[in-house]
Amino acid sequence: MRALVIEDEARIASFLEYGLTAEGFTVEIADNGRDGLDLARSREYDVVILDLMLPKLTGEEVLRQLRGQGFPVPVIVLTAKDAVLDRVDNLNAGADDYLVKPFSFAELLARIRARMRVGADAATTGSVITHGPLRLDLPRRRVWRDDVEVALTNREFALLEVFLRHPGQVLSQPQLLDLVWGYGHDPGSNVAEVYVSYLRRKLGADVIETVRGGGYRSAEFR
Ligand code: CA
Q: Which of 39-53, 112-126, 162-176 has the highest mean pLDDT?
A: 39-53
Residues above pLDDT 90, as percent of the chain? 38
Ligand 1 centroid to residue 35 C-alpha, Å? 14
Cα–Cα distance measured from residue 8 to residue 81, given in angstroms and rounded to the nearest whole number: 17
The residues placing their C-beta within 5 Å of ligand 1, an ion, are 8, 51, 53
Phi, psi of 144 (to 5 degrees): -130, 145
Ligand 1 centroid to residue 59 C-alpha, Å? 9
- pLDDT confidence of 95, banded at 50, 70, 90? confident
56-70, 178-192, 204-218: least confidently modelled range: 178-192
- Give the tens place of pLDDT for each residue, 59-77: 988 988 888 777 878 889 8
Cα–Cα distance measured from residue 146 to residue 138, given in angstroms and rounded to the nearest whole number: 17
Ligand 1 centroid to residue 120 C-alpha, Å? 32
- Give the tens place of pLDDT for each residue, 122-173: 333 457 888 889 999 877 788 999 989 999 988 898 899 889 888 888 998 8
Q: What is the pLDDT of residue 166?
A: 82
CB 28 within 8 A of CB 12: no
CA dihedral 19, 25, 61, 80 (to 10 degrees): -10
